Amino acid sequence: MVTKWIGFYGSIPNKDNNSANHLFVEISATQIVYLVKNTVNAQLEAIEVFHFSNKQTDWSDIFFDIKEHSLLLGLSYSNTTIYLNIQEALILPLKNLSTSSAEDFLSLVYGPEKNTLTKHDKIDFSLPFVSIYRIKNTLLEILNRNFIVFNIQHTYSSILRDVFKKDNLAPIFLKLVVYHQHIIVVYVKDNQLQLTQSYSFNSPDDILYYILGIIQQDQQTAIQAQIEISGLIDQQIGLYEQIKKSFGIVSFDEINLDDTVKIGLEKYPVYTFTPFYKLMA
């Protein structure tokens, strides 16, 4: 069953006057997000977030249910960007990428899989690297039916570009993004990327176990580290308090939301929507 967690609109979506809008979609195993950006003033026009169980694997049924509750689907947009927030992805130095190596690496780590399309995103840094991932043909067919023209990226790419835009990263830096039933963690030490990984969780204790384990496996201590957090952390009762006790520096990744959608969003901490908003950067 698909449930609509939130739906906020700066104005009532208009089927006749939306050509200047850019649609952003983020798809994960338990959540789909729709964001509409006005390309004239660069403001967020609308946001919808849908949750569903990871036991629901039929994308056709999921998109059908969402269409029943969405005010944003069925409209025309000047552009559509789709982010895949899926776990089966890897980060590699660009020099290691070849026509066959991406699929070879994914098969080595996650096992071989037929009927998929392998893709990659380039991420520019001092040492250029790529995120590699694969999309099931069944999902790709659904996307082609629902969106006329679109480009695809992985959520890792958006998060890593944002991390490496920051000045003066702490020597031991951890970024934690909390989603519905999974997290993404980025670990950087001495300005070098060490890990980018997605983890499913059932409780706040699972999240704490993962982030502390990453630090300890590298023979570091959490009290020496800075952790930056965003996303649905407030839905995990007690997690922030445990993080605050464990890590030396705790900060929130917050942005200034424009006024167009603040009505309704103001009851949530700003960092709740940071991961979604930054997809539009």
Q: What is the mean pLDDT of each run of 10 residues along the chain (281 residues)?
A: 90 64 95 92 89 88 94 90 96 84 92 93 85 94 92 96 90 97 96 94 96 96 96 93 96 79 77 93 84
Q: Give the predicted TM-score (pTM) of the model.
A: 0.93
Range of the structural domain that residue 99 is part of: 89-159
Two structure tokens written together for 201: 């969780």
- Residue 58 and residue 118 share a domain: no
Say how many C-beta atoms besides its own lie within 10 A of residue 141's C-beta.
12
- Secondary-structure percent of the chain, ordered helix, strand, coil, rounded to 5: 30, 35, 35
Instruction: Show the tokens assigned to 21.
Output: 């809008």
| Per-residue pLDDT, 220 | 95
Q: Is residue 187 part of a domain?
A: yes
Residue 82 inside a domain? The answer is no
* Cα separations in angstroms, 251 against 227, 229, 271: 6, 6, 10
Same domain, 8 and 73: yes
What DSSP string runs through 142-156?
Answer: HHHHH-SS-EEEEHH
Asked whether residue 117 falls in the same domain as residue 60, the answer is: no
| Per-residue pLDDT at 260 | 58
What's the longest Cα–Cα distance across the chain?
A: 58
Side-chain half-sphere exposure of 154, counting CA atoms within 13 A: 25
pLDDT (0 to 100) of residue 24: 97
Are 151 and 185 members of one domain?
no
Say which CATH number the domain at 185 has.
3.30.420.260
Residue 188 and residue 266 in one domain: yes
Residue 96 neighbours by CB distance under 10 Å: 12
pLDDT for res 12: 62
Question: Are residues 205 and 265 both part of a single domain?
Answer: yes
